[in-house]
Amino acid sequence: MDPNTFAQEFAKAQADDDARRKEMFAALEPGKYQVKLEDAFRNTSQSGRPQVVFCWKVLEGEKEGKDHRQYFGLDNSVGLSILNSALRKLTYDTANMSLESLDEICKHAASHKPVCVITLKQKGEYTNTSVNDFLGFSEDDDVPDQPAEAPWEAGIGATVKFESSDGSQLTGEIVGLDEEAGNVQIKYEGTLLDVPTGKVLAKA
């Protein structure tokens, strides 16, 4: 093969690949997306910040196949709180967390590929990502169907089982819904509790 022809064809292939990658990683618009976690790992950003990275892939709709990365800073309480919330919504136990156990969770998530719904919201120049409904683990790409009835579909007045902050299962009545924030207000033994939708297990 002519060396010049090879160089030209390779350069063209590189340009095509770069264009595909640019399209694949183009920022998603604010909204809700059903996604699968393709990878999860801990690393250090270019600025030297320790972080955890979630690599999501959109599973349906016009953006099917697009990738989205979510970053959790490990050097501040806000990032750690958001990470804790995301891991718990993916059903991981975050009690007594250490870097070693965090790496094990990332390894498990990367191999079992949880499927869930994420919400993207624009805040100034940044896009915030929150993990909402957990749909299950896909493993061999056996993606589960749509989630069971969501709390706002169950409706106010419905009696549901939910997981408390200490991990125990309780039963209470839905008295308020905040779909945008992803919270359900549940009355339990006379006390009103704000419960993330991912902790509402089923109708009682």
Range with the lowest mean pLDDT among 17-21, 138-142, 177-181? Answer: 17-21
Predicted local distance difference test score (pLDDT) of residue 111: 92
Do 15 and 69 share a structural domain? yes
Statement to judge: residues 31 and 113 lie in one domain: yes
Question: Is the residue at 146 inside a domain?
Answer: no
User: Does residue 74 sit in the same domain as residue 171?
Assistant: no
Tell me the CATH number at 175: 2.30.30.140
User: Quick check: is 47 in a domain?
Assistant: yes
Decide if pLDDT at 154 tops 60.
no
Q: 17 vs 80, which has greater pLDDT?
A: 80
> Do 156 and 126 lie in a common domain?
no
Positions of E strands within the chain: 31-44, 50-58, 67-73, 114-123, 126-137, 159-163, 169-178, 183-188, 191-196, 200-203
- pTM of the complete model: 0.59
What pLDDT does residue 44 have? Answer: 94
Sequence-distant (6+) residues with CB within 8 A of 150 are 133, 197
Q: Is 65 exposed, middle or buried (0-12, 13-18, 19+ CB in 10 A)?
A: exposed
Domain that holds residue 158: 151-203
Over the stretch 26-76, which tens digit does the pLDDT of each residue have? Answer: 478 889 999 999 999 999 988 899 999 999 999 988 889 999 999 999 998
pLDDT at 96 over 70: yes
Q: Using DSSP, state whether 24 is helix, strand or coil.
A: helix
pLDDT over 70 (residue 153): no
Evaluate whether residue 143 is within a structural domain: no
Which 3 state secondary structure label does DSSP give 177? strand
Q: Which residue has the higher pLDDT, 122 or 34?
A: 34
Do residues 131 and 156 both lie within one domain? no
Instruction: Answer whether residue 145 is part of any domain.
Output: no
**Average pLDDT over the chain, rounded to whole?**
81
Least confident of 4-13, 37-46, 57-66, 77-86: 4-13
Select from 87, 104, 137 the last residue of a domain.
137
Same domain, 109 and 41: yes
Q: Are residues 42 and 132 in the same domain?
A: yes
Q: Do 164 and 130 fall within a single domain?
A: no
Can you read off the two tokens belonging to residue 34?
A: 């059903």
pLDDT at residue 16, rounded to an integer: 61
Q: Are residues 97 and 165 in the same domain?
A: no
pLDDT of residue 170: 87
Count of the separate structural domains present in the chain: 2
Highest mean pLDDT among 6-10, 118-122, 146-150, 175-179: 118-122
Q: Is residue 40 part of a domain?
A: yes
Q: 121 vs 178, which has greater pLDDT?
A: 121
Instruction: Assess whether 120 and 171 both reside in one domain.
Output: no
Residue 22 within any structural domain of the chain = yes
**Residue 161, in any domain of the structure:** yes
Same domain? For 33 and 84 the reply is yes
Looking at the fold, whether 173 and 112 belong to one and the same domain comes out as: no
pLDDT category, 106, cuts 50, 70, 90? very high
| pLDDT interval class at 133 (50, 70, 90) | confident
pLDDT band at 9 (very low <50, low <70, confident <90, very high): confident
